[in-house]
Amino acid sequence: MRLLITSVPGLGHLHPVLPLALAAAAAGHDVRVATGADRTDWVSRCGAVAVPAGLSHDALVQEASLQGLTGPERPRRMFTTIAVPPMTTDLLEMARGWRPDLVVHEEGEYAAPLVAALLGVSCVTHSWPSPARQEAGRALLDEPLADIWRRFGAEGPVRQTGDLYLDACPPLLQHPDALDAVPKVVAVHPSGFDGPAQTVPAWLEALPRPAVYVTLGTEPAFSKPELLQRLVDGASAVAAGLVVSTGPHPPDVIQRPHDGVHAVQYLPQSLVLPRVDAVVGHGGAGTTVGALLHGLPVLVLPGLAPSQRASAERVAASGVGLHLDWQQATPDAAGRRRWAPHRLAPHGNREGCARPDRPPANARRGRPTACRRLTWRPAMKESAFGMLRSLCPSSPSGELRCPTRQGRTRPPRRR
């Protein structure tokens, strides 16, 4: 089977779908991951076959700035009218020589449903491990996407999701009715994947406890040095060890209050989270669910992205963490008043995390911890790759065969 996987050129977009690409390739299928040219090297280092398609991340940001886009209109246009046309053009051109049997996209990449419709093949949406965009938010994207579908000559209603929706958001965080309008939804367990394997630095192995991980992600729009410094000043007052990810900025933008503070530009969370006791983040899907998977309390300071604000609200409502607005992020608010001593006890929330549906042995009564509240439906234990069999049934020989929809068998020319 030829499997095309598409993603916006950002780590938070790529990481949820890369395990699917690797699993499908390991099963013997021909898999290609299409993303911006600035992320193809990262995809290759992760072990997948990468092809450049669409605009790079810097080009997306630059074009949005040239158009003077600000506020909520900036991401709305950046991921539709700016990103989709060049991505669609490149994917259709690639399909002339390598026609996919199935297209899979991460939920923020909207060219895939259009390309699948034009090719007459099935499409699968793989969600981020964060609350799904609600109906009102999806409606805001229909108008710009409808114009793009008309320009490429696509028939039928505009689609933001595919024939199958793989929901990687924990039930604890998902909005109860967010996916009611999505035809077929299957729950899958988030993978926690965060890139190629790396060695644990010596200083991280020796990090004093209790320790806190502070990150505002890798995007300049969310990672602000002045806000990072405020969070560092607050968290360092209650934690002996601190790991600060500066993302798009050099580590020296952070002033270290004491020797237990370590600033790095980027470090895989899979190395950090087992060695800290709490997380302060921006509501990014990988950071938030990564903390919960490791049984860690989380303080969320969401940026403007709807998914971040939704995660923050659900984290606070479910009792596994706290929600703080950027404007309220004083050192005191991010420090002693926000992190009670019991939450920073070394390894305090991890006992019992091998079974997320079982509360930690030392959990205090009336104080729900991440492990106690993070429960999973049984279906979430199945891999995302296994879910594809509902669209691509096995032939008698065991090979997956994907039926195409009725319609064109070749990419149409752009009108």
Q: Is there a domain that residue 109 lies in?
A: yes
| Same structural domain, 185 and 210 | no
The total number of structural domains in the chain stands at 2
H-run or E-run covering 75:
helix 73-77
pLDDT at position 328 is 63
CA distances from 332 to 196, 232, 235 (A): 37, 11, 9
Q: Are residues 184 and 315 in the same domain?
A: no
Residue 398 domain flag = no
The Cα 255–Cα 324 span in angstroms is 22
Find the Cα–Cα–Cα–Cα dihedral 279, 282, 286, 288, rounded to 10°: 50
The parent domain of residue 344 ranges over 202-373
**Do 49 and 170 fall into the same domain?**
yes
Instruction: For residue range 132-165, list pLDDT tens digits in order.
Output: 988 888 899 999 999 999 999 998 899 999 999 9
Contact 111, 400 (CB under 8 A): no
Handedness of CA 65, 71, 74, 75 (dihedral sign): positive
Contact by Cβ (8 Å): 195, 11: yes
Dihedral (CA of 385, 388, 389, 392) sign? negative
- Looking at residue 44, which CATH number applies to its domain? 3.40.50.2000
DSSP string, 231-270: HHHHHTTT-SEEEEE-TTS-GGGS--SSTTEEEES---HH
**Contact status, residue 44 vs residue 72, Cβ threshold 8 Å:** no
CB atoms within 10 A of CB 70: 10
Distance (Å, whole) CA 135 – CA 8: 22
Shared domain for 224 and 108, answered yes or no, is: no
With respect to residue 329, please indicate whether it lies within any of the assigned structural domains: yes
Residue bearing tokens 């609600």: 134
Q: Is residue 348 part of a domain?
A: yes
In a domain, 396, yes or no: no
Is 131 in the same domain as 226? no
- Look at the pTM and tell me if it is higher than 0.85: no
SS3 content of the chain, % helix, strand, coil (to 5): 35, 15, 50
Same domain, 321 and 179: no
In the prediction, which pLDDT does 413 show?
A: 41
* 3-class SS of residue 356: coil
| CA–CA dist 107, 305 (Å, integer) | 14
d(CA 153, CA 146): 11
Pair 183, 257 in one domain: no
Query: What is the Cα–Cα distance from 77 to 263, expressed in whole angstroms?
Result: 34
In a domain, 408, yes or no: no
Q: Which residue ranges of the chain lie beneath pLDDT 70?
A: 326-415
Q: 116 with 10: CB under 8 angstroms?
A: no
129 with 59, same domain: the answer is yes
Omega before residue 210 within 30° of 0, cis: yes
Strand partners, 320: none
φ, ψ for residue 270, nearest 5 deg: -65, -20
Query: How many CB atoms within 10 Å of residue 357?
Result: 11
The DSSP letter of residue 400 is B
Q: Give yes or no: residues 250 and 343 share one domain.
A: yes
355 & 384 share domain: no
Quote the pLDDT of residue 326: 65
* Beta carbons within 10 angstroms of residue 365's beta carbon: 4
Question: How many Cβ atoms sit within 10 Å of the Cβ of residue 192?
Answer: 17
Name the strand (E) or helix (H) holding 366: none
Cβ pair 87, 373 in contact under 8 A: no
Residue 352 and residue 358 in contact, taking contact as beta carbons nearer than 8 Å? yes
**Amino acid at site 95:** A
Domain check: are 220 and 353 in the same one?
Answer: yes
Residue 195 belongs to a domain: no
* H helix intervals, 126-211: 135-151, 202-205
Query: Looking at the structure, do residues 242 and 223 belong to the same domain, yes or no?
Result: yes
Establish if 91 belongs to a structural domain.
Answer: yes
First-last CA distance in the chain: 30
